[in-house]
Structure 1
Amino acid sequence: MQGNGLQNRLAYIALIPAVLIAFVSLCWFIYKDTNQQIEAFKLRTESVTTQVAFALSLPMYQSNELLLQSMLRDALSQEDARSIRLFNLVASEWMSSGPKPKGTAFPVSIRDTLSITLVKTGKSYRYFVPVLSPEDIQQKALKPRPIGWLELEYDFGPTHIAIYQTILSHLGVFLACVVAYYFLISFLSKQFVQPIQEMIKTVVQIREGDLDARVPEVSKGELGELEQGINNMAETILSSYTDMQTSVDQATSDLRETLETIEIQNIELDMARREAQQANQVKTEFLANMSHEIRTPLNGIIGFARLLGRSNLTRKQEDYVSTIMSSSQVLLTIINDVLDFCKIEAGKLMLDNRSTNLRESIEDVLTMLEPASSAKGLEVVSLFYTDVPEQLVFDPLRLKQVLTNLINNAIKFTNEGSVVIRTMIEQQQQNKVTVRISVTDTGIGLSKTQQKALFQAFSQADSSTAREFGGTGLGLVISKRLVEQMGGDIGLDSVKDKGSTFWFNIKAEVAPAVQQPPKLLGLDGQTIAVIESREMTRLSLNHQIQGWGAKVVEIGSAEKLYRHLISKSQPAIDVAIMDIQSNHDTDLHRLLLKIERELNCPVLVLTNSSDSDLKTQLVEQGAQYHLAKPIRSNALYNALVGILSPEAETLAEAEDRGLGKMKGDIRVLAVDDNSANLKLILTLLDSFGVQTTGCSSGEEAVKATRDQKFDLIFMDIQMPNMDGITATRHIRRNEAKDVHVPIVALTAHALAEEQQSMLDAGMDDYLAKPIDDDQLQKTLFKWTGATIKTHEDSMAVGEQPVITEPSASLDTHLLSTLPTVDLVYSLEKAAGKLSLAKDMFSMLAETLQRDQVQINQHYQQGDYKALLELVHRLHGATVYCGVPRLTMAAHHTETVLKQGDYSALEDSLFVLNEEIDSIAHWIKQNDVDKSFDQAVRVYAYQLKEKKAKTVKA
């Protein structure tokens, strides 16, 4: 094979240059012959044409038509002549013979042709030549006058055939020469290649194991030397192979013994691995079971210890109870860590993402850990960057768990200095953000070796650290797993004896604009002095106050503040914020009295929340305004606004006063075709003390607005006959020029284009169902100004709401985690009114089976418009009734119908039917009244816990 390849390559090397030269020569000869034939054809036809024109001169001059006809027919007998035409003196066709000429008309006027002219058509040659009078011919006039014109056409086809024959003959000779030359080259190269083939054959035999194969030594020169070298190489290989085989046999014997030993060890290792896995599984189950069993009685210990602490005890007994509480809390923390670790290991830990204020979540953790930081005198500060959206969708419980672990560790391992929590945006794409939170301390730091083992379970930095600070070694492991489950990473940067920075990032969604707290700008134009010696705390205060529009003046102490105020050259100060721990003035009482009473500069004193005695002492000394650390952003803002505007009602008072106590001078119209939804809205509005009117259709709403005046209208969107958008247009057309009643859209579901059409129709705002009392309070304040709400809870009038696009995909995993019926949620939506919650649930139960039958009928009939109306109404009815799985299924089905994705409709309706059947089954299996009684107790307990947390905060 290789020999044949070499032989062919040699043949090609010799053949290709010769073939190229011969081919070029062939092309040249063909070109020359072709041109000669074409030129000969042209000369011959031109000569014949000229002769015919000369012969026709006299007959044409004499107008002898018979002779002319005869001469024309004779001209066609010439070789290749195809057609002939004769034109008279005015260039009109006079006589012709033969078929019609090929090609188009003559390119120029025939009368302008004074000499022979050739027109090529590709298939013929057409000559146009003037016919001169006999006199001009005899006299050889310089400017002859034609008496007519002759057109003679010649067929070029025979010449073409002759040209092709010439080309074929040349090609035949060329191919014959190439074949002969190839066989000659092949014969000569074979004489050279044959010895090489023998060498290749021998080498192949040696490669396949025939070490006795040899090359016949028949060649001379270099080939002979190559044959001899191959034979010598074969001899050397044969000798080496013999020695190697002996060594291999010995090594094989030794390896066989080693493999037997390794096989025995592998069996033993596999048995040990299985035993270790089984032991680890038993350990995990044991930890989970024991942790749960221990936590149950421990909760009882903590609960009764808390009750015991509230009774009349001696100081020694209070110390005992305090010790029991603190020890129990430590033990409960360890048990919770073990339980979380076991859940994570088993993959059963689920996130509960919800819309939450990120700033408040961080401040909650700082408030919880304040006693530990105050005991060590540490500066704990939160720096929340201004570009970070406050309201995000994430799991607040798990985020607080990670933050608590990191901040608690920072406090634990820092003896002096500060702990700084920074929150910033790492990446943002539309409503998706990656938030980075870092915790920086000035503690003991970690070495490189300690950092490598830090995120391993049941491990600590080193044994001495574990003995000094304690702990399970699970906190960072759990934090790492939680952060990864939230789509982020966690890491650290640390230098031994210089401190550490633990950081993590999470992926979250930005909550809609209606849920975002607006910027607080109520301090515009105010000048606030900050007396704080600690750098990070001072930076945090400056950052927040400047963000509210105020100017900040940094002053070192109370004494310097006093000198600043009495100096007429210094700018005036409206409020002073003083950290009592960073102030070193000895006579604080005297300074406070002078600053506040003599110089009329109110002072907001900051103290640690654990310093109750200090707070009492400050009040006794004359301090009028006090705020406990850690400082919450909202509390600081409310305190400053309350100091600067004492005549205005404080935000906290407005929150306590509530909307239910306002005067009933606000008239509200609620429109909804679903009786349960309408009843809920009217009940909630009645509880707020407003005058309400209800309508069940768009027509009734339009008529009601003509008969009465309203301050606000809540308008359902999808209603039969006249929908909410059409009703809004009618109301706007009927309004007077100087009247504009705010109309708020109510719907459980809306796509982006539908949301825009609501605003275009004249609606002012949008509320998504389910609607609760808090949403109604905010909306009433926003559009009527009937009560005072916090800046965080209200939006600026006229701000266009941002509505998120609903997802068209059904999250089956999330669906499986939701309960079929949640009556506590139903009570929440009914503002705790049991009768209202029962009525809404019973209305849904009564119509559910009927709606199911109609839904399936509309689907089978292909009436998607009626199907959409029915599913929308069902969706709106479910959002208040505590049926989360059915609500989610109806929401998805409505999305599919609105987006026209009918290919996914069958699967969506299958899930919807399953959820309807599940609710019907639940109603049959449960006593609804008893279930509501249990839900009332749970709801009351949750309210109590929430109130307790609020009071504590």
Structure 2
Amino acid sequence: MTKYSLRTRMMSLILVPVLLVGTLVSISFISYRYYELKSLIVRSGISIIEPLSIASEIGINLDNSKRVKSLINRLHRRNSEIVMAIAIFDENHKLFEISNDKYDVNLLRLRPDDPIPTTLTKEEDSNSIILKMPIISETSASHGWPDSPNKSVPIGYIAIDLDLRAAQLQQYKEIATSIILLILCLGGTALFAHILVRKVTEPLDCMVKAVNRIRQGQLNTRVTGAMPGELSALQNGINTVAESLSKYKDEMQLHIEQATSDLQITMEQLEIQNVELTIAKKRAQEAVRIKTEFLANMSHELRTPLNGVIGFTRQMLKTPITSQQTEYLYVIDRSANNLLKIINDILDFSRLESNKLILDQVPFLLRDTVNEVIELLTPSASAKNLPLHHYIDEKLPNLMIGDPIRLQQILTNLIGNAIKFTDKGNITLEIKLRQQRHHRVQIDFTVTDTGIGIKSEYRPILFQAFNQADASITRHYGGTGLGLSITKRLVNEMNGEIDFISEPTRGTVFYFDIWLEKEEFQLGSIPERLPQPHTSFRLPMTVMAVDDNPANLKLIGALLSEQVDNTILCSSGMEALKMAQKHPLDLILMDIQMADMDGIQASEQIHQLPEHKQTPIVAVTAFICDETCNQTDTPFIDCLSKPLDEVRLKNLLNQYSPPQNRKP
């Protein structure tokens, strides 16, 4: 049974449009009338102030305040319905005369540092309109007065306060009249609708009752009476059905067995379908598992060659080459990093979809984290001549607990998009404190640009995966359509919300909030994440690198040779175990996925050697670092993700070198 009856629906279809149209017409009429009344008051005020400015000139020049007082009082009384006060001020903003001594003259007076307006000005608030007009001296020069070198000199100004309350009262009256007329119109329409609906629903009620009796087995029931229009055809149909049911009642029994047989067949088919659905569900779950495994494997297979491409490209940039070769290498480096960003976005999206993303909760410096993003993106903005501004609320605590890497990812996505879609203007990042609750802080972030903007019809799909506002944007600007989807998921993971406002061709404002915890400990508890100053000297330590990929092993060997005195390279876990038995080691860089013995097994066996129980081992992997190092009972103290970040490698070497060997 439906929630609303036919009678209710028909009444709604008749009354709702009448109510909507009547309301819109009333609102339009009232708004127009109020605007018309206000315009009439303004015109009346202008008709008062313009001749008064001319008539007041002589009185001010002759310092005849009585004449001016009489003039403005007469005009005030004549227009007392709309005029609250008329005041005349001299050129020094000193009151010359006012028509209403009880009126607060400061409401009409210009500020001391404001110049006298040269034309008519209007100031409006909820209850009044203030008009101001200069009093121009047209006679002083012609009489040879030395105080007036110019022919037209403002010697003061007139201010008149026009009362809008009469217009508002008239508006209220018209609102009441409109409501009464609307109620009367609705009442008449409701009466007409009731009569019309009753003529339709009463025959239908009769037929419904007849159908119910037929359903209960009273097959001799017939619908009687005259029915209008199409209802007559329905009446004949019901009567025909009743006759047919009565005729075939005896035959129905003969078909029961056949129907039972058909039902059994149907049940068997349903059972088969249920089995097929179960199989399909298992296949879908297996497909999800295969997809996740495929993405993980693809991460490894793509990051491994990218590690070689990016690493050796940067190594070649350190060698003496021509400017054209340098340009080519920078193109290769940018292209490889763009591909790496796409891979990372796809992996992040997959982990968010499967709820496998775990946010870190570590102490970090908020301002340093934001400044790193600004420093990273400033060259991109400068390349397009776009100023990149940022403001951080001084009330914000600097020491926080959260996931600085994911916060940087959010800001990089939003500011990077702003740079990409902005050709002129500027980009601004604003960070403000919204509230504090005990040890938790709610922070508002706003990224504003003056770019191409976003049309309103694309709002529902903007945060969906693999979607961009327009297909032409993908062709013109590039991108996978994952950045904003990942950003929204990360903001939600931080117990926040993200949204935006935009106007095409004017720009876009993205704003979001997140919750972070305040760190109450000393600054020394924060691990150093900034790159160390570059020096030419190498660390006096021995580092062993293990990787079964020759290109990656060669690359990491080249990078280590620039940073440490002794480097041992091994192409398998077994070889690494043998070399560890022969040499003292300060640090081991271990690839995880290898053929004969994987990195985890090799690391565990190395730690079993007496001389290497405390030797730090860093995982080098093409998989996601936090998925590797966050596992329980892992033998790794830290993690390096492929492609290798040279600055990150330097920091790790300095961090895990013997204390006496560390760079300052």
TM-score normalised by length of structure 1:
0.29
Higher helix share: 1
TM-score normalised by length of structure 2:
0.41
Q: Which has the higher contact order (CA 8 A, sep 6+)?
A: 2
Which of the pair has more CA radius of gyration? 1
